[in-house]
Structure 1
């Protein structure tokens, strides 16, 4: 596999610290870093670079695009993702966008348009390729149909809750047709309907304590409960994604499928605002509210600063 020169864009979350050592273990180099200051104060990028032995702290994304083969975007404000990705796409460089990839239809369409134009883009949630889902499919008899799946997690509905959408889709496969909010009781309960008639259910949002990523799968013959080992997520995700960024493999999960999970989250939000009406993914438009990345980032920064 080709060794990538990788740039890290925005250091807002815990992910960059967790991912950089794994990227190096997998045989790639992190050669540059850029931070836009959404969460951290000036000087943090230099300290991060020194800690991880990264040679260049970039003043602009255009500068970074000249130095790297691929960029990994970690902005906690998902409304920045498209503009953060643009200089790399225009320079013909690969891009990986951490979850949530986008919070609006406009941004989702832009990502898909870039991919259709030949750009190499991936990202989303590590739950899309987690070992628990992969192993369940390996052991599952394809002649034993899925009856339903209940999946969920805690913390919040989108920045963290998006993991549950990806996990449910990783188990049931693509083809989500419509979504219906079943209202909230401590968490938001959501029904997702697939094109073949199957239904899956999610429970996401804040709880008093932390809930792990989980799924209970009911088939015609079995009931299986999966609880994800979070310590294995980053490595599995990067191991599945980096060969595609290097141009050595097809994507582990197609971008259109990744973004289907995020469209389902947008449909759940719209359904809740409409009192629980069924919302087809094809009905979503730019006029729909979506999720506000700037507002979430402001809250995230205050929490990070202990305010």
Structure 2
């Protein structure tokens, strides 16, 4: 893992929809950074929530617009549960040369992922995604696994197929590394099972979707010499994530993963959805149509708000 950034950053939280912004604040401060500003677009919380959040967490600025925030920060963390607005939220900061982290899922369609990739190619400091890619359990296994010893693997989690399911895709991607070329929906037994294929022929399964109870983030790895089961410690995920990405956001280190590799997890999930809609036909990531709708972020945000505030349904 890259060492933590030595350069103190002024950090802004964009959209306060999830538990992540509040959980990140003490970790960011512990790592030597200042949370200077927040903005909330109102997808989940009522007007005025940004000011309440800022007061509760001792943050000096509750901004009324993204443009107001630009001059107050060096980097932003975008937490919108509606992933369809991630490009819109990131744009003013990318154009101003600020560093951008986009929380998972990065996007639910190819068009938005390609816009982010284009920004990266143009020199923008932009990253994001699931904490499961950076967790200590994955890093420990990667240091021990040799590609030629790989036989098969399974990774998964519960809750839903994309907002949480992306953790399963990212965990398997973290273990096997970049190079996913294909996804195939295998079927549904309570959860959806998807087989991913890598360019070198290695394969693994992701099992994602709702269950009767909560499941941990887990993976079972089969090599030619052993079988290993790993389960991520939820209490350490945010620390590992922020320690991993902050040096890059501060301009002190390269990204932990090039952006074209980073987006493979989201592309695999989108390809899997398309495969399911086509009766299990394998779908190459490069063949996902540009106009394919993918996963609907606005619909998920409405669902998420109903879960948080059922009386307002």
For residues 149-201 of structure 1, the C-alpha deviation after alignment (integer angstroms, 9 at most, x for no partner) is: 10100000000000000000110111001010011110000000111111100
Q: What residue in structure 1 maps to residue 3 of structure 2?
A: none
Aligned with 2:67 (options 37, 59, 62): 62
Of residues 195, 210, 213, the one that matches 2:214 is 210
Partners of 1:185 and 1:136 in 2: how far apart? 28
Q: Deviations over 1:87-111 (max 9, x none)?
A: 0000010000000010111100100
**Residue of structure 2 aligned with 1:92, choices 91, 97, 106:** 97
Matched, 1:164 2:155: no
Residue 185 of structure 1 is matched in structure 2 by 189
Structure 1 pair 220–58 and aligned structure 2 pair: CA distance change class (3 A): same
Question: Over residues 189-223 of structure 1, what are the superposed CA-to-partner deviations in whole Å (9 max), with x where a residue is unaligned?
Answer: 00001111111001100000000000000001000
Indicate which of 177, 181, 189 corresponds to 1:173.
177
* Partner Cα separation in structure 2 for residue 182 and residue 145 of structure 1: 25
Contact 2:132/2:237 (8 A) holds in 1: yes
> Paired residue for 1:305, among 300, 306, 309?
309
Residues matched between the structures, number? 306
- Answer yes or no: is 1:78 the counterpart of 2:90: no
Distance 1:87 1:185, change over 3 A: same
Q: Any conservation in 2 of the 1:128–1:253 contact (CA below 8 Å)?
A: no
What residue is the counterpart of 1:230 in the other structure? 234
- The two structures have a TM-score, normalised by structure 2, of 0.96
* Number of the residue aligned with 1:23: 28
Q: 1:140-289 to 2 correspondence within 5 Å? A: 140=144, 142=146, 145-289=149-293
Q: Distance in 1 between matches of 2:124 and 2:225?
A: 43
Is the 2:220–2:227 Cα contact (8 Å) retained in structure 1?
Answer: yes
TM-score of the aligned structures, taking structure 1 as reference length: 0.98
3-state SS of the aligned residue for 1:288?
Answer: coil
In the TM superposition, residue 125 of structure 1 has moved relative to its aligned partner by: 0.2
Structure 1 residue 143: Cα displacement: 7.1
* Moved >3 Å (runs of 4+): none
Q: Is the 1:214–1:227 Cα contact (8 Å) retained in structure 2? A: yes
Q: 2:17 maps to which residue?
A: 12
**Contact map agreement 1:151 1:202 (CA 8 A) in 2:** yes
Instruction: Determine the structure 2 residue equivalent to 1:293.
Output: 297
Find 1:127's aligned residue among 132, 135, 142: 132
Offset, 1:66 = 1.2
Instruction: Note the C-alpha offset of 1:36.
Output: 0.5
**Contact 2:75/2:99 (CA < 8 Å) preserved in 1?**
yes
Q: Which moved more, 1:221-230 or 1:39-48?
A: 39-48
Within 2, Cα distance between the matches of 1:50 and 1:256?
38
Structure 2 unaligned spans of 5+? 1-5
Q: Deviations for 1:22-79, whole angstroms, at most 9, x for unmatched residues?
A: 0110000000000010000112111110111100011110110111100100000000
